[in-house]
Every structure is written in structure tokens, then in C-alpha cells.
Chain A
Amino acid sequence: MNHPTHEDLVAHLYGELPPEQQAEITAHLNACADCRQLATNWHKTMRELDAWKLPAPLPSRSRAPQTAVYAPFLKWAIAACLAVGFGFLGGRLSAPAPDTIAVRAEFAADLRKLAVALETQRTEDRLALTQILQTMQGQRAEDYATLRRELETLAVNTEDGLSTVVQLAAATEPNAR
């Protein structure tokens, strides 16, 4: 009796052999107790493997549902932004251009009056400033002259005092001997 290889037996258990080979091995298992025992043991192990079922994926790691929830609102928000943007752009483009010549003529007279007023004010300020400077210069000259006179008076007085001191020093006392 030709026993199937273990590799063929495993492939048979997982149904990966061609149909005729599957049938051939099935017939062999029906007839061979040793091979049947081996296949039965492996089959039990395979059934035990099925006992390990995995838990569902952690929800915190999955971001797809959040995207699915917000997707419609996001679409509507984008649509609203586009509508407002196109409306603003259309309004800007469809508005008539302003008449710059008329606007300039309207404001020209006022601008000229304003310019004349500013020039007058500046001239008055300049005159006032000149007067102030002249007054300050006259005051300073007068102060200088007064100071000079007082210094000369002081010098004369000082000279007279010194002469008196010299005379007193040169005089002798009558009862010295």
C-alpha cells in the first residue's frame, strides 16, 4: 500500500489537491488505519485552532466612522463657502467703474482752499516765530549791557577800598616810642 506523503495529507485536509487526488487520498484514509489516525489527530488540532477567536478591533484606532459622520456636513460647508465666494466675486465684477474725472473736479476746489489756508497759516507761524526770536535777542543784549555796568562799578569800588587799606597800613601811631 502506497501511503500519501504528510505534505499531501496536509494539502488534502485543506482541500488544496486536485479533485482526483483528493478522492484518491480519501479512499486511502478509508482503508489505512495509521494514516486515518494521523489525519484525525491533525483534524482535531485544526478544530482546536478554530477555538481561538479574535476580539473586534479597538474602536479608538479606527478613524473611518468619524470621517463618515462628518463627510456630509463637510460637503455642505464647502458648497456654502463656494457659493458665497462666487457671489462676492460676481458683485465685484458686475459693479460699474467710478467716474474719476467727476470725483476729481468735485474735490479740486476744496483741495485748493485747503492748500491756501495751510500756506497762510504757515506764513503767520513763521512771522510769529521771527518776532519771538528778535525779542529774545534784544533782551539778551540789554542783560549783557546791565551786567557790564555793574561789573565796572564793582571794579571801581574795589580799587577805592584798596587805596584806603594801603593808606591805613602806612600810617604810624603817635605814641609808639
Chain B
Amino acid sequence: MWRVQAHDDPEAFAAIVGRWQGPIRNLCLRMTGDLHRAEDLAQETFARLHARRREWQPTAKLSTYLWRIALNLCHDENRRRTRHGEVPLEIGADGEHAPCISVFHPTPHEELETAERADQVSAALQRVTEPFRTVLVLRHYEGLKFREIADVLGVPEGTVKSRMVEGLSQLTRLLQPALNNSPAANAPAPAIAAWQPRPQTKARL
């Protein structure tokens, strides 16, 4: 990044884009639930990174800077869409009056079933209040540690964990009917002795 900042090196910038295009685009897609908007937002993220290359501090991590830019863009985009009535309003903080996702109806075709589940998860995630959704996406899908998420968002690590708890709780409530009818719910609960925490998923970052 310092080559971009000091010499406007186009090859170095192309390398940054090649390295981070996928993760940034995935983040935007998880945050907006719209593939084409996510593509546009990812491009806008890199355009903004280039425009603000002088503001970047060499002591800061590039990834943190990039995540922050992308999240701000997603936030602006979601706010704009909500203002124009393009998406249903998110649920309230209590989540009491939130409409649940419709009950999952299994189909004979396994691929279709998987696609329906993915759609339901996507729709449910878009209904989670944005600060909680941000933490969920960064932790679960992008594999950032809670400490790293705290750096990106500029909040204490405890706040990140609290938001994660709230996000998971909201999502569990939203997905409850689907969970009760999904094949995963019908599987036997993990044995107490065999309980293991979720393995780490940050291999690709």
C-alpha cells in the first residue's frame, strides 16, 4: 500500500484489488443481500481507497482500513434503500414484533432445498439490525477475531461480543420456524461429552 501511497504505483494497486476484491465483495453481499449492489459497492470501496490513499497511515492495517470503508458504504447503501422503501424495515431492538421467516418446506430435490435454506438465511440476516449484522458477518463469514472486529469498528472488544450475542439471538428467533423443520434440527443433538466449540474459519484471510 505504501507504493500506492508514495508512487501511485498502478501495479501495486492492482495487486491490492486482486487480493481483496473477493472478501470485500462477499462482505458487501452479506451486508446488502444483493449481488449486483455488492459488486458496485466493492468497486466503490476500491475507488474510495484510491481516492483516500494519502489519508492511510502506514502503521494501520490495510485490511482494517478496507473493511471500514466497505462497511461505511454498505451502511449508507442500506440506509438509502430503507429511506426509499426498497427493503423491509429491520426488526426493533427487542425483536418482539419481528415477523418470523416462513416455515421451511422441504422439497424432494436436495439442491433446491439447499438454495431455499440459503435464501431464508440471507433474508433473515437482512432483518437483523445492522450493527449486530455487521458483527455477525465479520465474525462468522469473514473469519475476523473479535479483537479485529473491534479495531475495524472502533469499539471495545466487549461491545463486539455483546453485539454478537444480540445478533445471534435475533437470528435464532427469526430462523426458529425454519430450524424446527430443517434436517439439521431433526438430527440428534450433540452429545454432551462430545461438545466442541466451532472450529476457526479464517484460513483464507
The yes or no answer to A156 lying at the interface (CB within 8 A) is no
Residues of A within 8 A of B21 (CB): 57, 62
Which residues in A have their C-beta under 8 angstroms from that of B117? 48, 51-52
B190 touches A42 (CB 8 A): no
A18 at the interface (CB under 8 A from B): no
CB of B46, distance to nearest CB on chain A (Å): 11
Partner of A51 from B35, B114, B172, B193 at Cβ < 8 Å:
B114
A40 to B191, CA, bound (A): 11
Cβ contact within 8 Å between B139 and A49: no
Contact A48 B178 (CB under 8 A): yes
From B141, B158, B175, A48 is in contact (CB under 8 Å) with B175
B side interface size, CB within 8 A:
47
What is the interface of chain A mostly: helix, strand, loop, or mixed? helix
A22 to B172, CA, bound (A): 23
Binding site for B on A (CB under 8 A): 6-7, 9-16, 22, 26, 29-30, 36, 39-49, 51-55, 57-58, 61-62, 64
A10, B122: Cβ atoms closer than 8 Å: no
| A7 and B161 in contact, given A16-B146, A64-B18 (Cβ under 8 angstroms) | yes
Q: Are A44 and B184 in contact (CB under 8 A)?
A: yes
- Interface contact B161-A10, CB-CB below 8 Å: yes
Residue B22 is within 8 A (CB to CB) of chain A in the complex: yes
Point out which of B30, B139, B164 has the most chain A C-beta atoms below 10 A from its C-beta: B164
Q: Does B66 contact A (CB under 8 A)?
A: no
Complex Cα gap A48–B114 (Å): 10
Find residues 162-204 in chain B having any chain A CB closer than 8 Å to their own CB: 162, 164-165, 168, 171-172, 175, 178-179, 182, 184-185, 189-190, 192-193, 195-200
- Please name 29 pairs of A and B residues whose Cβ atoms are closer than 8 Å in the assembled complex, sorted by A: A6-B165, A10-B161, A10-B165, A11-B146, A13-B197, A14-B146, A15-B197, A15-B198, A15-B200, A16-B145, A16-B146, A26-B195, A26-B197, A30-B192, A42-B168, A43-B190, A44-B185, A45-B168, A45-B172, A47-B184, A48-B117, A49-B141, A51-B114, A52-B125, A54-B29, A57-B25, A58-B39, A61-B43, A64-B14
